[in-house]
Chain A
């Protein structure tokens, strides 16, 4: 690929050679009386030829070095921490990345820049993920750097960006060598009290059922004494006490059944919104991880149910490190989910997706294999009838094919009248003949014509035409990637909803964060997703049906502003309570909004000093949002409080503690009853 610097140099060579080869004859033919003569065409020609040969040699050399470059480079990425190689990240723990690059070519590349593409949401702590310099034959390159993941989820290494150039910067090649690797980022390990593990644990694990269930059972610890009933096993008779009281007394032992806790995590679109690692879902996942680790540490059973608007995924309560790892993996996968809606305008996502595609799949956007004829956006613009809510400009753009001829005809008429006017002005006013002012007129006409032809490029919907070209190219990539039928390419260009869905899928697959508009044009919230309540209710009923003894069901779900749709859930909760289970609800709470009961502290999110008007607007917005959230929370608490269901706001530090307290409470219930 020739750079602009290379083009200029080529132009110079062509100019020198043309001057020396045809300069003299052309001058003799066209300007025979010109006083300045071409005297030395040979010297100029030799200079031109020297530059041309050198340039050709550079080009051939660069071509020979970069042909099949991708096949000649092999990459290996090794991740390790203090203990050795790892295949999983932990939140907050630094991981050392080493990229080994080896080159099997026969010619050295004089200058390359190799850059490992750091995944989104990963912080570079130490070192550099890039290398600059020559690429020598059989001399491996090592790139070392340290990264850290601030939040739970998953990360994806796409590959390595390679740029090669000659030493002058005439030629340039850009490649992306894919080395796709996906890693889970698990929540950091904490103990039952929510503290990070810093001390050595007991070597001997307590036996199952360490937390005795204070209900009659077959355990070994004495719970109570009662009168003998016919059918009681004779071995449970307390003989000494029976002798003292002169009637048969039976010993009642505690139950050794451990307490079971099932967490229902909302993974619907409403909690996925927000920057990755800072959205509500991440908060819920952190709470669930802490609870799972704490319950596993005390040998209790913990289960998980992930649900969204359409489906649910269950893990039956169990215990053990393998079960914990399985739960943590599922939670990490859930934390990486991205929101999706077909109502998002594709034009907002298109530049982001196109930019990403050009960075990671540059070969798929090459004009050789993915072409968009430039005239197409002029002659066949998208009509307004294929848009849901077309604006005036959209309608006008649909008529572009007809506007252009009007512009050209109008332009010719304007030029004709201008010509007549100029002629009249020269003739009548300045007393000059047109032939005398020929050069000036021709030059002016040329400039006018140039401007006339250039204007449409800047004023006839340049942004829409550019987006049309990008959309076609991306649609082709999406068709191939997701295996759509041949007609799908054109369909994606016309149907906004489908194209938007596929764009979001493409971005989510590559873990590219993207923003979606929260409200539609009528001001309605797009992500309320009331259907998830039915899915949750179904899951809860199913869990109650499979439950044993009394269990704790923790619903970590965004139910705010859904009080009108809570009917099915309330029925399921009643069933659970009737079977002596406990239910509690944890509502995700957006960061920056004070918790109910806490004092509001309206501070700008970025901490910068803002202009007074901006600050006022910000605090007014914060106040109204806070009020809305508090009202919604009280509404949910009132509705569920009638069933004696505790409702709390999600807080990464307090919520696990409250859930664990509820578990403890569950243990003593048997005694109370």
Chain B
């Protein structure tokens, strides 16, 4: 098993690659904002990104800082007649690149697996028997192929994001919602919610079909218990009470 270096994992080549990823993303954000004449506001995302790098909430801080910079500065929206707005594309891809790099670094520096649920309950005896190793990802496992795929996914997601945003209907079927963004939001929630519901239902169905005999028996056992637990509980409590009385030599 490849173990990450305990002393300085950020010095491993894999970590350095993702550190560079984050740094380039920050630089790209800064350049876009400078070219679009955001002035002093362009430093806000850089500050958030650099400070956030030391915390677990780096991507969240960066995204909020970018949102604040583009919203609250006295600036007009990015404009252009082309189908793809390059500043938007670079900005969204850079924010995604920072998030991707930061989270992959976290997987190497902190942990990649969450704590087992039982360990969260702080029961020593119960958690002593469960594997509590949250195991970091070894930086040596980072491959060139992985970095290439990450770059491709950045560009793809940036282009697709912009396209989908533009294609979200604002006027089609709008029952007089003004401004049309509200109708856009409603449509978006319906589309996303509906898709998620569909996927969840299909997954649940698939899971039922994949059950082992033991799991299926347990499900049935649980269903019977759910439906009759009141009666069962009453009978079981009386029986236990009578058993205890008898063991103490008393008549129940």
Q: How far is the CA of A508 from the CA of B204 in the complex (A)?
A: 34
* Chain B residues in 8 Å Cβ range of A354: 118, 126
A407 at interface by CB-CB < 8 Å: no
B129 at interface by CB-CB < 8 Å: yes
A86 at interface by CB-CB < 8 Å: no
Residues of A in contact with B, size category: 35 or more
Task: Kindly provide the distance from the CB of A143 to the nearest chain B CB, expressed in whole angstroms.
Answer: 8
B96 at interface by CB-CB < 8 Å: yes
Contact mask for chain A residues 129-164; partner B; CB cutoff 8 A; 1 contact, 0 none: 011111000000000000000000000000001010
A519 at interface by CB-CB < 8 Å: no
Contact B225 A490 (CB under 8 A): yes
Surface stretch bound by B, among A364-372, A532-540, A565-573 = A364-372
B13 at interface by CB-CB < 8 Å: no
Surface stretch bound by B, among A45-53, A202-210, A289-297, A412-420 = A45-53
* Chain A residues in 8 Å Cβ range of B160: 50, 53
Q: How far is the CA of A21 from the CA of B189 in the complex (A)?
A: 11
Task: Tell me what chain A mostly uses at the interface: helix, strand, loop, or mixed.
Answer: helix
* Chain A residues in 8 Å Cβ range of B161: 46-47, 49-54
A25 at interface by CB-CB < 8 Å: yes
Contact mask for chain A residues 157-182; partner B; CB cutoff 8 A; 1 contact, 0 none: 00001010101111010100000000
Contact mask for chain A residues 334-346; partner B; CB cutoff 8 A; 1 contact, 0 none: 0000000000000
Task: Tell me what chain B mostly uses at the interface: helix, strand, loop, or mixed.
Answer: helix
Task: Kindly provide the distance from the CB of A28 to the nearest chain B CB, expressed in whole angstroms.
Answer: 8
* Chain A residues in 8 Å Cβ range of B247: 388
Residues of B in contact with A, size category: 35 or more
A494 touching B229 in the complex, CB below 8 Å, given contacts A351-B125, A358-B117: no
A383 touching B237 in the complex, CB below 8 Å, given contacts A132-B135, A486-B221: yes
Task: Kindly provide the distance from the CB of B34 to the nearest chain A CB, expressed in whole angstroms.
Answer: 15
Contact pick for B181, options A22, A46, A370, A490, CB 8 Å: A22
Which of A8, A18, A42 neighbours the largest number of chain B CB atoms within 10 Å of its CB? A42
Task: Kindly provide the distance from the CB of A251 to the nearest chain B CB, expressed in whole angstroms.
Answer: 71
Which residue of chain B has the shortest Cβ distance to A49 in the bound complex? Answer: B161
A579 at interface by CB-CB < 8 Å: no
Contact A169 B218 (CB under 8 A): no
A355 at interface by CB-CB < 8 Å: yes
Task: Kindly provide the distance from the CB of A515 to the nearest chain B CB, expressed in whole angstroms.
Answer: 10
Q: How far is the CA of A269 from the CA of B29 in the complex (A)?
A: 72
Task: Kindly provide the distance from the CB of A34 to the nearest chain B CB, expressed in whole angstroms.
Answer: 11
Q: How far is the CA of A478 from the CA of B217 in the complex (A)?
A: 12
B51 at interface by CB-CB < 8 Å: no
Task: Kindly provide the distance from the CB of A358 to the nearest chain B CB, expressed in whole angstroms.
Answer: 5
Contact B92 A47 (CB under 8 A): yes
A446 at interface by CB-CB < 8 Å: no
Contact A487 B235 (CB under 8 A): yes
Contact B91 A355 (CB under 8 A): no
A491 at interface by CB-CB < 8 Å: yes
Surface stretch bound by B, among A76-84, A107-115, A663-671 = A107-115
* Chain A residues in 8 Å Cβ range of B123: 351, 355, 466
Contact A17 B92 (CB under 8 A): no
Task: Kindly provide the distance from the CB of A91 to the nearest chain B CB, expressed in whole angstroms.
Answer: 25
B131 at interface by CB-CB < 8 Å: yes
Q: How far is the CA of A49 from the CA of B73 in the complex (A)?
A: 22
Within 8 A of B (CB), among A395-452: none
A221 at interface by CB-CB < 8 Å: no
* Chain A residues in 8 Å Cβ range of B114: 3-5, 169, 172
Task: Kindly provide the distance from the CB of A509 to the nearest chain B CB, expressed in whole angstroms.
Answer: 14
* Chain B residues in 8 Å Cβ range of A371: 222, 226
Contact A466 B121 (CB under 8 A): yes
* Chain B residues in 8 Å Cβ range of A486: 221, 224-225, 228, 232
Which residue of chain B has the shortest Cβ distance to A386 in the bound complex? Answer: B240
Contact pick for A494, options B67, B185, B237, CB 8 Å: B237
Within 8 A of B (CB), among A317-367: 351-352, 354-356, 358-359, 363-364
* Chain B residues in 8 Å Cβ range of A130: 1
Contact B113 A163 (CB under 8 A): yes
Within 8 A of B (CB), among A6-40: 8-9, 11-12, 16-19, 21-22, 24-25, 36-40
Which residue of chain B has the shortest Cβ distance to A348 in the bound complex? Answer: B125
A512 touching B129 in the complex, CB below 8 Å, given contacts A169-B113, A383-B237, A487-B235: yes
A359 touching B240 in the complex, CB below 8 Å, given contacts A16-B67, A44-B67, A351-B125: no
Question: Which 7 A-B pairs give the minimum distances between C-beta atoms?
Answer: A50-B161, A355-B126, A21-B185, A490-B232, A351-B126, A168-B103, A50-B92
27 contacts between A and B (CB under 8 A): A39-B70, A40-B71, A41-B71, A42-B165, A43-B70, A43-B88, A44-B67, A44-B71, A46-B91, A46-B162, A47-B92, A47-B161, A49-B161, A50-B93, A50-B95, A51-B63, A53-B161, A111-B141, A132-B2, A167-B107, A167-B137, A369-B218, A386-B240, A477-B218, A481-B214, A490-B233, A495-B240
Chain A interface residues (CB < 8 Å from chain B): 3-5, 8-9, 11-12, 16-19, 21-22, 24-25, 36-47, 49-54, 57, 63, 67-68, 71, 110-111, 113, 115, 128, 130-134, 161, 163, 165, 167-170, 172, 174, 351-352, 354-356, 358-359, 363-364, 368-371, 380, 383, 385-388, 466, 476-477, 479-481, 486-487, 489-491, 493-495, 497, 512
Task: List 15 other contacts, CB 8 Å, given A52-B161, A67-B206.
Answer: A46-B162, A50-B161, A54-B96, A110-B146, A132-B135, A133-B2, A172-B113, A174-B113, A363-B212, A368-B219, A386-B241, A486-B224, A489-B224, A491-B236, A491-B240
